[in-house]
A and B are shown apart, each in its own frame.
Chain A
Amino acid sequence: MFRRHVATLGALAGVCALAVTGCGSRAASVASSGSSGSGDTVVQIGVDSPLTGSLQAPGQGLRYSAQLAVNIANKEKEVPGVTFQLVAKDDEATASIGEQNATAFVADSGVVGVVGPMNSSVAQSEQSVFNAANMVEVSPATTNPSLSQGPNWKTAPSRPYKSFFRDITTDAVQGPFAADYVYKTLGIHTVATVDDGQTYGVGLVETFTQEFTRLGGKVTVAQTATPTTTDYTSVISAIRSSSAQLVYYGGSYPAGAPLTKQLKAGGLNIPEMGGDGNDDPTYIRTAGSAANGDYATLPGAALTSLSTAKTFISEYQAANFPVQYGIYGGTTYDATWSLILAVKTALSADGGKMPSADTFRSQVEGAEQNVSFNGVTGPVSFDKYGDTGDRVITMYKIQNGSWGDGVYSAAFAG
């Protein structure tokens, strides 16, 4: 009998372990070095992104791109009398940790606004916290449409949080753009879809499926996995017995790369197409030669093809940051810059004298809505939902082990 008690204890301990790894590790807050000399007012800008875990590569790129914007604003004295300082927090791509970070940012009266997060699910948990404090959150990477246009964004869009902004095109454009490309350009009319069960992945597959079936295409298999799934054998046997000629994946590369690898190992020589979540060099490293011929879309034009991004790229390289700026580098720089300009506008309306933190935050929120400038990725401004007007998406195809500069880029009318 005693043995069974121990086994029960063990099971209990297992549950405890689950809970501990789920939310135990507090995100470390890293205050970046910003020299506040000559009696300047220090204004802090928060950054929230995954700095550890499987999505750390684009997350770190996001953080350093924001750092670059802050460094340049300080160097050029963009806002006279103000020295900006970056405060980076790690959300581990986990909604609950993001919410803790948001609470900490709001509680810190020195922080005026936040750039981030990277994941739609994290944004969902942070929005209400920031909104209650009238604190601007401008995301350079989250693409789920409901974040800015509410859960009924298809039929009755309405903005749920006036403090949430983003300068990246949503999946309301990204999914249909991919569907259009698959149906018309590739001439493929039957596909299988797999998502990772997260806000971003499910939403992306939904918008893709809707447009694809509207065009006359057929989705033969629709599967849901998890963000940490590495074994797709049962999904693949379902795809094998269907006549799908392409797999559309909604999720991020740590789970997307094993999918394509196992597809090809399973004798299915059909490409996998994903959204911005799949677009990372690690995807190719993990999947090896199986990745060749796969596709991924990325909102915005390719940075390397933009004349406006040349300075950003060379400045970033010159700054010797430890990681590449990644796929959200351009939008992050612009998002940070929009916040800097909003601070500038708000401060000059106050006659250069900083009011209390609460008042200043809501003033910055108002100024952010009316920001308009030419950024790295093109003109930046926000519509009545806090979204960007930019509808350009680029399709990338892996050839010879590289994502290349994109095979097709266009503004998608919808």
Chain B
Amino acid sequence: MSAGAISPRFATPPNAALLEVRGVAKSFGAAKVLKNISLQIASGEFLTLLGESGSGKTTLLRLIAGFEQPTSGEIWMSNERLDTLPPYRRRVNTVFQNYALFPHLNVRENVAYGLRVKSTPKGEITGRVEEALRMVKMAQFVDVRPATLSGGQQQRIALARALINRPQLLLLDEPLSALDANLRKQMQSELKALQREIGIAFLFVTHDQDEAMALSDRIALLRNGALEQIASPREIYARPATAYTAEFIGQTNLLRGEINNGVARCGSLQWRTPEAPGAAVFSLRPEAIRIANASLQLPDAVRFRGIILQQVYSGASELLEIDCGSNQTLRARIPASGPLSGEHDFVFSASDAVPVFESPSAHWERATHHEPR
């Protein structure tokens, strides 16, 4: 394994591809915001673009919506070229981050906007508006101005306004980021249920990895304009392709060391591994580490001894910070078991140490400690 090129693993969509992004790159002047992105979205799929600010996720969304043009590459939808069409001719609709409801129109007029613009007959409009509002549970708010509604209510109207046009793909630009925590959780489950019910493909942008894990069929992790990994939430959590992915999604311990003669040595830890010799990085999730005791039998068990430096209690579990000697600190998540201290034996299964690639620019970023989200 070399600290060289990334080869993120791309899981292929289960159904036929609805949208294809082919080698798309986008620069604003000298700034390269997106570098050679290729991915596919299947019809009916809930795909999340996940990444930090500046990762290019919103730019990619806007390219698909039609508000920007790709510097190079193509976008295709249903076997037709998409990126050459203006936004008003794409079968794609967007739910904007701050909802962008028209302040001079009431709710009904906002929701009906897309239909009126296409000269849909009035009778049909009335029916479809009612249907759309019922779908987002806002049927009683027909004639009010958006300014009188709360954030969560505005968001539903924005959703109805987009969905009424029966797009093939719905784009959502961090729609829940302006909501408070409880409302956010509620909207997440409603959104997921809605998507299942309608069966339209959703392309969802967020920087919140919990949200991505909860909602998505697949997650596309973007970093500095490039695709780091694209896989289902379970896959991406259990088998992160890179150190960045391992740290961005969930918490992890990154074990850096060497493989020689089939044995991996990271600090004071060592275990047998079939991976190729050379420098190596492993991702070990904190919940994989347990306190050793006689009755615990783990396959390929790796034991080590360490001193508990810190213990952070969080209700159902505890996070232990363990000093393993030779400048190595690991974090373990164990079920809540009362206050602990001192030296203990710990154990984990070697198969839980997942080998990951170190991205080329990793040594710049190692200085900035990624807080587990």
Is chain B found bound to chain A in the same assembly? Answer: no
